[in-house]
Amino acid sequence: MKITQVKVHLMQAGAPTHTAWGGAGKSALATGRNWLFVEVATDAGLVGIGEGSGWPRVVAAGLPDLAPLLAGEDPFQTERLHQKLRVALMGHGHIGVVGAGALAALDTALWDIKAQALGRPLHDLLGGALRQRVSYYAHVKDAETARAAVSRGVRAVKVGGTQQIVERAWAVREAIGPDVDLIVDLHGPAWLTGADAVAVGRALEGARLLFLEEPVGPEDELGWRRVRDSVALPLAAGERLGTLAEFDRLMASGLVDIVQPDTGRTGGPTQLKKIAALAEARSLLLAPHSGSLGPVAEFAAVHWIATSPTGLILERLEPDWPGKAQAITDSLHAEDGQILVPAGPGLGTSLEPDFIAAHPSERNVALPAGGWEPGTSQETPYLQARRTRARLTQS
Ligand SMILES: [Mg+2]
């Protein structure tokens, strides 16, 4: 079997009906989200699909550069082809999330082809599923949206942002009761200091969090150490990373308990397997990032986490834009707060190219809800929100 063609599909994704960060039509997710998919065709008639995040519009522009390197190759040679693409990218400096996003899209499609050719679900090729259902958490913004999620069957929720986050997190804990898992994501903005994050973390220590996510930004190692030394909560990070070496550094730092690869920008199953091995060696848990991701990366995440001994939980926008189900032929099914691991051959879904083509990319960057006021402290990421959005508590 030989690879004959790589097709790139870029689309504008619509707004989720609500998120933890702002109402529909206001958040960056509502106005700037693109999904990037590939189809890799073979002379055997099999077509594999993959998704690349890490600035999808830029990844889409780069993929035609890489596609000729796969033409005529055997899709079963996933490790060799992964390394071939990495060598081809070397001249551009660090691979970063854009390069790792391109690798993820192509690598996922190759694994999909392999699994289809063998007539087995992808998870069988990654070691076999350890569980037939994968837990997930949904985003909520307050007690009311948390109660609504729980009434839909959700068993874990995440509250995001910084504004009055302590009060909102406690209100959600009260609303969901003791048996539903609660996560808090501060999104580690550059303006949030280690001291701020320590204050928030300490105020949440009694709220029985599953984890506290990105208490400060990934660049702020001193802030991370300060939080790590001062807050008795499990800490999570990793959604902004791309390469195996970056994940190795994060895990070796001892700063996190939960690692959060985004399956659209971490090199595909070839690299995800290695990340899972590094995590297992250190007894660190895995909680794949989603948020901006489309449906194909979510399929990849479910197959991967089902085979990972330390796979804890998957992030999932729920509800998301209804078009998420229309961009693909088959959607994931959830019951009682868990996603059923797909049992059919390959990833378990295909693209709907007509629907994707009907939603062309318009833009792929956006300012956060609240926007940008020239001539104010919002002009840099270091001051951006200190005055208007840094009210960590009501008092
Ligand atoms: Mg996050």
From ligand 1's centre to the CA of 185, what distance in Å?
Answer: 6
Instruction: Tell me: pLDDT of 57 over 50.
Output: yes
The torsion angles phi and psi of 321, rounded to 5 degrees, stand at: -60, 130
From ligand 1's centre to the CA of 46, what distance in Å?
Answer: 35
Is residue 295 within 8 A of residue 327, CB to CB? The reply is yes
Domain closes at, from 71, 102, 119: 119
Average pLDDT score, the chain: 93
Q: Looking at residues 367-390, what average pLDDT do you find?
A: 64
Q: What percent of the chain has pLDDT over 90?
A: 83
**Which residue reads 């990032």 in tokens?**
289
Say if residue 206 is in the same domain as residue 87: no
Is residue 150 within 8 A of residue 336, CB to CB? The reply is no
pLDDT in tens, 288-320: 999 789 999 999 999 999 999 999 999 999 889
Instruction: Write the CATH number for 145.
Output: 3.20.20.120
pLDDT in tens, 248-288: 999 999 999 999 999 999 999 999 999 999 999 999 999 99
Q: How far is CA 60 from CA 5, 10, 74, 193, 272, in A?
A: 15, 7, 23, 35, 21
From ligand 1's centre to the CA of 387, what distance in Å?
Answer: 22
End-to-end CA distance of the chain: 65
From ligand 1's centre to the CA of 67, what distance in Å?
Answer: 31
Q: Six-digit token pair at 327?
A: 């961009």
Say if residue 138 is in the same domain as residue 265: yes
Domain closes at, from 60, 84, 119: 119
From ligand 1's centre to the CA of 289, what distance in Å?
Answer: 7
Say if residue 112 is in the same domain as residue 128: no
Say if residue 230 is in the same domain as residue 307: yes
CA-closest candidate to residue 230, choices 192, 188, 253, 198: 198
Instruction: Tell me: pLDDT of 25 over 60.
Output: no
CA 287 to chain centre: 9
The residue range of the domain holding 248 is: 124-350
Instruction: Write the CATH number for 93.
Output: 3.30.390.10
Is residue 173 within 8 A of residue 207, CB to CB? The reply is yes
Say if residue 48 is in the same domain as residue 188: no
Q: What percent of the chain has pLDDT over 70?
A: 92
Say if residue 210 is in the same domain as residue 309: yes
From ligand 1's centre to the CA of 137, what distance in Å?
Answer: 12
Count of all residues that appear for the chain in the document: 395
From ligand 1's centre to the CA of 239, what distance in Å?
Answer: 7
d(CA 213, CA 216): 9
Say if residue 278 is in the same domain as residue 321: yes
The verdict on residue 360 lying in a domain is no
Say if residue 92 is in the same domain as residue 131: no
The verdict on residue 183 lying in a domain is yes
pLDDT in tens, 108-155: 999 999 999 999 999 999 999 999 999 999 999 899 999 999 999 999
Please give the pLDDT value at position 369: 62
Centre a 10 Å sphere on the Cβ of residue 163 and count the other Cβ atoms it contains.
16
Say if residue 86 is in the same domain as residue 154: no
Instruction: Tell me: pLDDT of 78 over 80.
Output: yes
The verdict on residue 229 lying in a domain is yes
Domain closes at, from 68, 84, 119: 119
pLDDT in tens, 331-372: 999 999 999 999 999 999 999 999 999 999 999 988 766 666
pLDDT in tens, 231-241: 999 999 999 99
How many structural domains comprise the chain? 2
| Strands in 178-319 per DSSP E | 181-185, 211-213, 235-237, 258-259, 285-286, 314-315
Task: Read off the pTM.
Answer: 0.95
DSSP3 helix / strand / coil % (the chain, rounded to 5):
40, 15, 45
Please give the pLDDT value at position 292: 84
User: Which residues are the active-site residues?
Assistant: 187, 289
